[in-house]
Chains A and B, each alone.
Chain A
Amino acid sequence: MSKRNVLKIIAFLVGLYFFLEYILPEKVGGEFDSYEVGSPVCVEKDGKKLQFYVGNYYKGRGIIGRMVKSAGKWKKDQKPCLQRSLFLKFDQYGLIEPDVAVTPEGLTLLYLGQNEKEPVLCYAVSSDDGQNFRKKGPVVISTNDVFKTFENAPNGQIPDRIKSFAADYKGSSWDVYLFTMTYRVWHAAGPDLKHLTLDAQPLVSTALLEKSPNAFDVYKEGDAPVLVYVMDREIVEFRQGGGNWTPKSWKAPAGNGTNDTVYAGGRMDTSDGTLYLGTKKMQKARPIDSPYETTLCAVSLRDKGDGEPLAPEMTVYKKVGASPRPTYLSYGTEWAGKFLTVVGSFAIFIAMINLMLFHGKKIYQSALNYNAPVGEEKLPGGGAPFRNFLKNAGYSAVFLIFLAVMIVCALKGQTDEAKGTIWKTSFDFLFNAIQAPMGSAVFSMITFYMISAAYRSFKVRSLEAGFLMAAAIVCMVGQMPIGELLASLVPESWKLLQLPWLSSKLLSVLNAAAYRAVLIGTLIGSVAISLRIWLGLDNSVYSSVD
């Protein structure tokens, strides 16, 4: 078999692997919460304490995990108990803000499903054991024809987009509290999650909650609801008494790190005391892909009544950014990534050698000709030897010197012990005081290039150039203050003559349509060439083989 065919087979197998990895439905395993954990809720059933939380294995891909408390310790299940739908729309982009209640069916878990195109929707699932959930469809709320906005939405006639919610099941009736995007809290009640009736007025109006809380839960003291949430890093309990809502707050317990913050997520009275659940975010280090080093679910245990919070009881801790393995093939993706990194590192090495060879050769040749008599120069230039040398190899010498200095400073100055040393200071100086400003200077040169290019292109030599010129003037003037000024002189009904309006239409309609057309063509073109390479049909790729 020829070398070319061997390469084609390898390329096909690698391509097949990535294709399968892309189209196979994911099956998130033990690292489903590797990116972040949050929104914990707790329930006690048959004397067993269960905690459910949202684990993200990828940014914005929440699925729900479970923890069980046994022998005084919380233990996490290795696999998630509820995953997002792959082909059903309503929670295709993840599950957020769960709440849980004990019902005659066992456990009923409500969550908000995320979808790219629709507002979040509230759905319910139920389970006997808290592990295998059956999806029960959307929570449906009806009103007395007060709200018409979302009448076609699966959740029924809800007053606003839901931001968060809390649910409670007592005495064969559901109480659902909706926290909406306009910071209002609405109450709906009913015997069945498919037949909830919304109150005519919000429970809490905008005036009471001025901004969005971080977590939201509701529990009942007798028949009176108490809202629990976190505002400005404080746990707030909001009670209604004598017609007024009164907040009571205290600082959420912090962890060991100096900048740690605990966000409470829910509250539950248990036989041990009152549990306040939350997530703790440590801000010690900041990896590139995430602002937090670790995210913990914390449980703050308080005495029953009004005691001070005891030390937080940590339950789940995850390193953020650990690579998730959503399918069985994902192990290979990780391996392929590492392989590419290694090959890339060698390629950088080769590229560096190429640079050094090129510049080294120039310096060497110039040095050989250093004492060449004037007029017999073998290299272009002439004049005094040193000036000649500088002219022919000066930049190369500067390049090689800085390359060596930068490498040494970077290697020696990037360790933790190097702070304050000459290496670290030199590296910072070279980077911040030389490379960064020089980069900005080069970038600013584009302005001059643009002016010279614009001068050439704006000469009206044809009908097309005339259109280009007219469109450019409209867009430029339309976005300048003078455009606004001119528009104010034109009556509102003559929009076509208002340059800012015309400019925005040119960009958002004509330009966007053309851009999409080009984009479609480009993407189909890239599909075609990928297919040709994958199936080994395109011989130009292998032209240097054999």
Chain B
Amino acid sequence: MDHATLPIIIFILLFSGFIITMIMLTKRGKEVFLRPINGLKVIDDAIGRAAEEDRPIMFNLGFDDLSVNLFCSLAVMGYVVRKAAKLSMPVYVPLAQPLAYAMAEEFWKDGYAAMGKEGMFAVEDCLRYMSSNQSALGAGIAGWIKREHVGANFMFGTYGFESMMLAEAGQQAGAFQIACTPSFYQVPFFMVSCDYTVFGEEFYAAGAYFNRDPVLTGSLVGQDYSKLVLLILIVLGSLLLTIFQKTDYLRLLLQW
């Protein structure tokens, strides 16, 4: 394992401080404003549309193994499964990682059980470990989307080149598609093929939009303060470096 350098330790402590402070403040009742994110607001509409058309829902978890990205995606999946269970609809979950399979199964079962619909759909029919190979995963999911004529296709998590295959297959099947990913390079592909695309840190904010838990909203505000600090540092650093570029100590300090 590589080790943290001093600046990294300082920034970790600073950002953690912002996030924890804001969580504590929101827990004590501080009101915070959350900017609406269209892609997350329409998740209910997507489920409703699929229910009206009597078409199944698919929730892709991407290529994430046991990681924070997977937990983010699973939090949203839990919400989607509960909503779908309420409407007695199946949610298909194709998986690329064996460890993610075990976790997704728990979330999936829990979602149906929460609505009293356990046993309504067989796990092996709805959750399928496809492959850890990108080509096989893309081809497998594309085939599944077309065969089952999926009505709403959610793509959350990290993706590689298979994003194009998934999103285009959903587009051709006429599914309502929402992509939410931290994979920057896949964003253009999702944008051209999906109805809504959410990316960057909004992926990590997704959980907070479905339940206004003070912990989640507080951490979002903490994130914003951290970004503000970085923004100020970037602007200040650029200005100082431009003005005092010949001063050696300042140059060294800014490079640090």
Contact = CB atoms under 8 A, between A and B. Distances in A.
B168 A344 contact: no
B86 to A, nearest CB: 16
A519 interface: yes
B227 A521 contact: yes
A411 interface: no
Nearest to B19: A528
B165 A528 contact: no
Interface string A502-546: 000000000000010011111011111111110101111101100
A519 B184 contact: yes
Contact of B201 (A25, A326, A348, A524): A524
A118 B109 CA distance: 55
Q: Which size bracket describes the interface of A in this complex? A: 35 or more
A152 B248 contact: yes
B199 interface: yes
Given A445-B165, A533-B71, A439 B124 contact: no
Contacts of A515: 184
A532 B205 CA distance: 12
Nearest to A87: B6
A344 B99 contact: yes
B153 to A, nearest CB: 15
A333 interface: yes
Contacts of B241: none
Interface residues of B, number: 75
Given A520-B230, A521-B201, A351 B95 contact: yes
B106 A525 contact: no
Interface in A405-451: 438-440, 442-443, 445-446, 449-450
Contacts of A237: none
B2 A58 contact: yes
A540 B75 contact: yes
Nearest to A457: B192
B6 A543 contact: no
B216 to A, nearest CB: 7
Contacts of B115: none
A358 B128 contact: yes
- Among the interface residues A21, A358, A527, which one has the most CB atoms of the partner chain B within 10 A? A527
A78 interface: no
Given A357-B124, A529-B204, A86 B3 contact: yes
B6 A524 contact: no
A283 to B, nearest CB: 28
A452 B184 contact: no
Contacts of A526: 68-69, 182, 204
A544 B107 contact: yes
Contact of A355 (B4, B9, B69, B129): B129
Contacts of A150: none
A131 interface: no
A131 B189 CA distance: 58
Contacts of A530: 68
Given A333-B1, A521-B200, A449 B98 contact: no
B138 interface: yes
B19 A446 contact: no
Interface string B113-156: 00000000001110111000101101100000000000000000
Interface string B74-94: 110010000000000000000
B200 A540 contact: no
Given A358-B125, A446-B164, A537-B215, A23 B98 contact: no
Contacts of A439: 133, 135-136
Contacts of B74: 540-541
A5 interface: no
A25 B201 CA distance: 30
B113 to A, nearest CB: 9
A538 B106 CA distance: 17
A378 interface: no
Interface string B204-227: 110100000101100110110011
Contacts of A348: 98
A525 B204 contact: yes
B165 A446 contact: yes
A22 interface: yes
B5 interface: yes
Nearest to A447: B164
Interface in B1-58: 1-6, 9, 12, 15-16, 19-20, 23
A354 B124 CA distance: 6
A534 to B, nearest CB: 10
B168 A449 contact: yes
Contact of B226 (A117, A518, A524, A529): A524
A86 B6 CA distance: 8
A350 B203 CA distance: 29
Given A453-B189, A522-B184, A528-B204, 10 more contacts: A326-B3, A327-B3, A344-B99, A351-B95, A354-B128, A438-B135, A521-B201, A524-B223, A525-B201, A528-B220
13 contacts: A152-B248, A326-B1, A350-B101, A361-B124, A443-B161, A445-B165, A453-B164, A521-B223, A524-B227, A525-B200, A525-B204, A525-B223, A531-B219
Interface of B: 1-6, 9, 12, 15-16, 19-20, 23, 66, 68-69, 71-72, 74-75, 78, 95, 97-99, 101-102, 106-107, 109-110, 123-125, 127-129, 133, 135-136, 138-139, 161, 164-165, 167-168, 171, 182, 184, 189, 191-193, 199-205, 207, 213, 215-216, 219-220, 222-223, 226-227, 230, 248, 255-256
